Structure 1
Amino acid sequence: MKWNTSSRLLMAAIVLLLLTGLAAAVQAQMTFTVTNTNNSGTGSLKKAIDDSNANPPPANTQNKIVFNISGTGPFTIKPLLTLPTIKVPTDIDATTQPGFQPNTLDYADNEVPMIILTPGSLGALVGFTISASNCSIEGFVINKFPLAISLTGPGGGNVIKANFIGTDNTGKTAAGNLQGILINKSANNIIGGDDVDDRNIISANTASNIAITDVTSTRNGIYNNFIGPNATGTKTLGATVTDIFISAPDNYVGMSGLEPGEQFHPGNVIAGAITVGINLNGSNAYGNEIEGNKIGTDPTGTQPLPNTVGVLVDAGAHDNEIGELNVIAFNLTIGVVINGANTVRNTITENSIFGNLLEGIQLLNGANDDIKIPLLISAAHTCSGCGTEICGTYIDPDRKKSDITVELFMNDVVGPPNILTLGLGQGKVFITSYKVKTDFLGVASLKITLPIKLPVGKYITATVTDDDGNTSAFSNDVVVLPAADLSIVKTVNPCKITAGTNGTFIFKVTNNGPEPVTGATIVDILPLGTTYLSAYSNSPYCTLALGNFVCITFTTPLDVGETRTAAILFKTCPDLDDGATICDTALVISSILGDIGDIISGITGSNSGSGVASADIGSISLDKINIFGDCNICNNFSKVCFRISNPCKDAPLMTISTDLLQGNPIPLPGCTDTWYYRVIVRACTTTIYGVTVTGNAPGLMGKPISSSPCTVSTSGSNVTWQITSIKPCEPAVLIVCVKRTVPANTPCDSLYTLTGQWTAKAYAVGTQTSAYSNPITITATCQ
């Protein structure tokens, strides 16, 4: 076929027409410019949205709506009716208005927005409604609507950034919407962004600042926003019931980036809510992750901007994770509350939870499968000084032979008031985690030695998490103690005290090393029959006295080898019985008590010592078995038992004197009186007691308890024994056996029988004397 000139021209025209049509079919996204604040018409925001909806952009692109309003801003657009729903991918960018300045600050927001969107006189209901995908709203002030922004299905993947939602154009004054942002039946949206100039301020919106509802609203991310604070980051704007409400699955509030394959996204500042900072609510709230946020604090995480409750997981929400790297602090009641028997498998891990008024974590109504709280017993430097040993126990009969993850935390101060929280602590600094396994009873030891020396005086707490992801509340606090061996010696003055008068318990505390001790504390519970009056020391000190529970704390370090003295003045009750004994025991620990864990560590650890003193030399009673058949004690001898109770530590020498009241124990010519003795004590003590003899029986020598009891004495009617080293508060018994031997071929009749009625008394130092014992008749048949 031959082409002539006319044919060639016709073909060229056809090709040109085809190429022009194809170009129109694949045109790039369109840009629409807002040039005025009118409600409608050319250059209005409404017209721009209508034009964008009428001209869908190619796949994977956006139309753009930009601003270029003449004059000096900021400019306020007041739609009379709700703006058209955005139905095609569109970027509505108010940062393009001349005069806009982006935020450049980390801990505050200095953005200068130029476009304010607020309802007109007919009361528009919604600021922006987006049903499309791949849209963005940025750089606006949106205030005073019933709903500021609605993200609804079927679209998703939209971005809301660099807006002030619920404030004026300074970000410092409340101008709230009823609801800030609502995500319903929409997925993969992002509120905020990774950079400081992406930050939204979403505050002062009455119902909630952000709400995510419906089971289809998944994989939405909330990053790097101020939710509750104003632009300064130092104040909240108030009036919001809940900062973030989520009743949908698999959403993200901040993202730590610590998990494999997880991208880092900065967390949010969530503060100032009337009720709850974050509420995960209902059975559709599962798989949500809350990471890296400041909840109840300013942007630095160090100053309070409290919610009433930091995080509430409620109404059957399950399998959520709170952590890592959240700071949940200063909230007016509790940091994290998990509530309800069906609210289970919610993990709280590796956060900083502190300064909440009542408690760090609280489980209510069987939440988290009613997992039990661990008990810590002690935390102390090892004697080698190169680590810290933490001891505790976990008991949960519902978790027999189960793997348990223990997380340890360190705190600057002891937990909240014990009356309100049963002594449960919080966890400011995450230290480490480790696994243990419970036995067939559901019991596990939590002992671990860390390779670092934790600071002395800090407080340690723990949580446990089972293999299903249920996390407990915090344990009790235990204070970190130095590797120090403390000892205490206690005396009383006077040793013999009259009922109704005053006495003094005196303590000498010594640090035997190897480390100095800050806050060494004497703990004493004064005995019944006494009343605490005062305490004092020769070193700087402070006193805690609750009734007869007394703590004396040395307020300056107790150096290695140093000894200090303190005293407690007490008064005895005037109605004490004659001969009654007042016995007191005290201990010294390395720090003032935080709770029961410290008490246990103070008693059982090497960081403590104890001393005992008695305020009375006791009393004596006598009893007798005439013929006692035990060869180890008295074989065919008359036995007298001198029972001595609670002798005085101040008078370790105790003298017992026997006195003849009546009878005939006087030796006859040729007769010999033989005395045997032995000291026995209660079976629970291992103390060895000794006896020496003075007075008219000089030949009777003392024997310890384990020795043979038999010793021959000269005859005599009155015999005195002196007992040494009797342990205070332990009754001792001196057994004395006597028989009379007559010359050979002498009739053994009543003339030669040793008979008589005896009594005894005890003497201590000086004139301190017990009353006479009961009288007893002793008879030794002659042999």
Structure 2
Amino acid sequence: MATHRTRRPTGRLIAAGALVVGVGAAAGALVPALAAPGAATYTVTTVADAGPGSLRQAITDANDSGGTDRIEFAIPGAGPRTIAVDSPLPEITDPVTVDGYTQPGATPNTRSAGSDAELGVEIAGGDDVAGNGLTLADGSGGSTVRGLVVNGFTGTVATGNGAGVKVESDGNTIAGNVLGLDADGETAAPNRTAGVLVTGQGNTVGGGAAADRNVVSGNGNRLNLQSPVPVGTAGVYLRGGGARANTVDNNIIGPSASGDPVLTRGSTGPSLVQGNGVIVEAGAQRNVIGATERDDPGNVISGNATRGVWIQLPGTSYNSVSGNRIGTDLEGDGPLPGPTDPAAVQDSGIQISQDARYDSIGVGPDRSTEPGFGNEIAYNDNDGVVIGGTQRLATDFTDGHLIRFNTYHDNGGSDDIGIAINGDSGTPEQGLASPFERTPGLGNAPHDRNVTNLDEPTDFDTGPNNENNLVRLDPTTSLEGGRAHARGTVNTEPNATFVIDFYANDDPDPSGYGEGEHFVGSSTIDTDALGNATIDVLLPADENVTSGSAITASTTKISGGVTSVLPADAGELAGQLTQPPFSTGEFGKNSEVE
């Protein structure tokens, strides 16, 4: 059957019913667009790998045509139609909209949580197809890929392939797809490296509307699902210095479309396939994982084998993780349903390590000084957030990470760990004759994951986030007219200004140190020449601050001190209250509310 090709007159509106996502429009908004000279529609009418009417032929024809073309689908037969390719498809080198929702019977998602999308076209690779499902190569900027199931493509991080969709160009939209699962949205059919691999800039993965939501789960080592998943696999992978200003929002990354753990063929027990939810690395900058505005939906990032979000390596900086549910179920009301065996629970919520710098968690891409962009970080098996490694590495100077306004609870199993700075595999050090209490053995063995800073007088130690010293709240906090009166001290870097963020916890943390379940309020302090400051704050009234609850606090340096050197590439961030390299520390000891 021949490929159907419809030439459109220059300067006329696309025919009714044929709508294209306009570049720069709100994600998911379908708007009429003027057809460029030569723009055409190519209709895929067969599941054959090649020849007339095939997807391969449609891509080839669209590459040869000028303007922003469309590839639509009208493959006969009921149910999802599988295009099994024997070799990588041609790279897309000209702008095109590939719209799987044009296949008869296909419908986009309508749910506010999860996905009820019915997808009609599956693009399936195999063990011998060492490439990507679709590649948006140079020249394809402004393309859209929507309404497709893409799975089973092999390759490696080193070769730069093995992704369901690889995005090398700029300004593209990847929305409403299922990547790494079967067409049922429940069973793993992994792309070996990633569901989406982005090396370009200004791209959107997901979008603000329910119909934009991708399910990006099950991606990992396709050849042996029961072996430990390589750390270099992810649902969404933003890699390299060219990966800038991309947005990943409103996706399901890790769970199935229905919100359950992903099924693996032949599994006899709990297992996780996708290595990480999102990786941002190797020089990627100014990317947003989650909300760019306060009312954006954010992502659900849970059920991954190791980390929900991993930001790492030198040059990786100014990235934002905002407004997500990390470690929770789809609604953020509890953990993912299913086994509680640690082998089936995501390890850490967020990790930033190996010299990545100046990233932010919970404050939005513009680094707001007010709440509204916080992540819910809960039910992860180890840390909620870890800065640095899980071993003390003197060479890991990942620094300047701003962490505020998030919700932390039920992380670390019975140890409930919120923020960990440079988790240590041994007994915490006392520092240089430190008078502060040091409590070894906190956290999940063998790692003492909480309170591992040197916490030494005047805080001259260096390392991840400069290993800020802890807030020392009084053992008890009084209620005065329904408001908590927090008192305590800080001994940290001299002649510096810090914001102290206070959080309430419904159940005091078993470790004795806080997680940070409910943000309550903030106060600013200045340290003297010896690094001392007094805390005496009447916090705002808050329904979560009740007798028997606990108050804890964390510090974020905002100016002064001997280690505050504004990086040369701060640019427009210079002069902002929360500009880098001002770093957040761990939570201090709980103070019981009386």
Normalised by the size of structure 1, how large is the TM-score? Answer: 0.55
8 Å Cα contact 1:376/1:391 also seen in 2 = yes
Matching residue within 196, 204, 218 for 1:204:
218
Which aligned pairs between 1:219-618 and structure 2 lie closer than 5 A? 219-237=245-263, 238-247=272-281, 248-258=284-294, 264-305=295-336, 306-323=345-362, 324-339=373-388, 341-357=396-412, 358=415, 359-364=417-422, 366-382=463-479, 385-396=481-492, 399-416=493-510, 418=511, 423-452=512-541, 454-467=545-558, 468-481=581-594
Q: Percent identity, please.
A: 31
1:163-189 C-alpha deviation (Å, 9 max, x unpaired)? 111111111111111122454541111
Q: Is the 8 A contact 2:285 2:317 kept in 1?
A: yes
Pairwise CA distance, 1:151: 3.2
Rg (Cα) greater in structure = 1
Q: CA deviation at 1:277?
A: 1.0
1:378/1:390 contact within 8 Å kept: no
Output the amino acid matched with 1:464: T
For the residues of structure 2 that align with 1:338 and 1:268, how far apart are their CA atoms?
Answer: 21
CA shift at 1:410, angstroms? 0.9
Whether the 8 Å contact between 1:256 and 1:266 is mirrored in structure 2 is no
SS at match of 1:272: coil
Partner Cα distance (1:121, 1:326) in 2: 38
Aligned residues: 443
Cα pair distance change 1:387/1:265, threshold 3 Å: closer
> Can you list the C-alpha shifts for 1:229-273, whole angstroms capped at 9, x where unaligned?
001114345212211111111111012525xxxxx5321111112
Partner of 1:53: 63
What SS does the aligned partner of 2:145 have? strand
1:81-134 deviation digits (Å, cap 9, x = unpaired): 110000000000001101012111122211110101102685352210111201
Relative to its length, the structure with more strand (as a share) is: 1
The one-letter code of the counterpart of 2:351 is: L
Please give the root-mean-square deviation of Cα atoms over the aligned residues, in Å: 2.1
Q: Deviations over 1:387-407 (max 9, x none)?
A: 3211121111xx112110010
Structure 2 equivalent of residue 67 of structure 1: 73
The one of 134, 159, 163 aligned to 1:128: 134
> Structure 1: which amino acid aligns with 2:514?
G
2: CA distance between counterparts of 1:129 and 1:446? 55
Offset of residue 26 of structure 1: 6.1
**Structure 2 unaligned residues grouped into runs of 5+:** 1-8, 13-34, 155-161, 221-232, 264-271, 337-344, 363-372, 425-462, 559-580
- Look up the equivalent residue of 2:46 and give its one-letter code: N
Supply the distance in 2 between the matched residues of 1:75 and 1:297 (Cα, whole angstroms): 33
CA contact (8 A) 2:386 2:420 kept: yes
1:108 corresponding residue in structure 2: 114
Contact 2:546 2:593 in 1 (8 A): yes
Give the aligned partner of residue 164 of structure 1: 178
| Deviation, structure 1 residue 329 | 0.6
Alignment partners' CA distance in 1, 2:10 and 2:591:
79
Do the aligned partners of 1:290 and 1:321 also contact (CA within 8 Å) in 2? yes
Name the CA distance, whole Å, in 1 between partners of 2:309 and 2:326: 8
Q: Is the 8 A contact 1:236 1:271 kept in 2?
A: no
Distance in 1, Cα, partners of 2:38 & 2:521: 54
Say whether the 8 Å CA contact 2:206–2:251 is kept in structure 1: yes
Q: 1:121 to 1:214 in 2, by over 3 A?
A: closer
CA distance in structure 1 between the partners assigned to 2:482 and 2:131 by the alignment: 66
Is the CA contact 2:180–2:195 (under 8 Å) kept in the aligned structure 1? no
Q: Which amino acid aligns with 1:407?
A: D
Distance (Å, rounded) in 1 between the aligned partners of 2:479 and 2:487: 12
Alpha-carbon contact 2:106-2:119 (below 8 Å) kept: yes
C-alpha separation in 2, matches of 1:355 and 1:227: 20
Moved more, 249-258 or 328-337: 249-258
Q: Runs (4+) of structure 1 moved beyond 4 Å?
A: 20-23
Which structure has more RCO (C-alpha within 8 Å, separation ≥ 6)? 2
- Paired AA for residue 208 in structure 1: A
Contact persistence 2:496–2:527 (CA under 8 A): yes
Counterparts in 2 of 1:213 and 1:22: CA distance versus 1, 3 Å: closer
Q: Deviations over 1:677-729 (max 9, x none)?
A: xxxxxxxxxxxxxxxxxxxxxxxxxxxxxxxxxxxxxxxxxxxxxxxxxxxxx
Q: Is the 8 A contact 1:126 1:149 kept in 2?
A: yes
Do the aligned partners of 2:418 and 2:516 also contact (CA within 8 Å) in 1? yes
Which residue number in structure 2 is paired with residue 137 of structure 1? 145
Instruction: State the AA in 1 paired with 2:552.
Output: T
Distance (whole Å) between structure 1 residues aligned to residue 482 and residue 49 of structure 2: 74
| SS in structure 2 of the partner of residue 48 of structure 1 | helix
Equivalent-residue separation in structure 2 for 1:80 and 1:64 (angstroms): 24
Equivalent residues of 2:195, 2:219 under 8 A apart:
no
Residue type of the alignment partner of 2:253 = I
- Partner-residue secondary structure (3-state), 1:126: coil
Equivalent residue of 1:334, what SS?
coil
In structure 1, list runs of 5 or more residues that go unmatched: 1-19, 259-263, 482-783
1:26–1:400 Cα change, 3 Å: closer
**Distance in 2 of aligned mates of 1:38 and 1:315:** 46
Counterpart AA for 2:536: K
> In 1, distance between residues paired with 2:593 and 2:487?
11
| SS of aligned partner of 1:463 | strand
| Kept in 2: contact 1:401–1:438 (CA 8 A) | yes
Shift of 1:432: 1.1
Deviations 1:438-476 (A, max 9, x none): 111111112101242632111111111001421000111
SS of corresponding position for 1:436: strand
What one-letter code is carried by the residue in structure 2 that aligns with 1:405?
Answer: V
Does 1:148 pair with 2:163?
yes
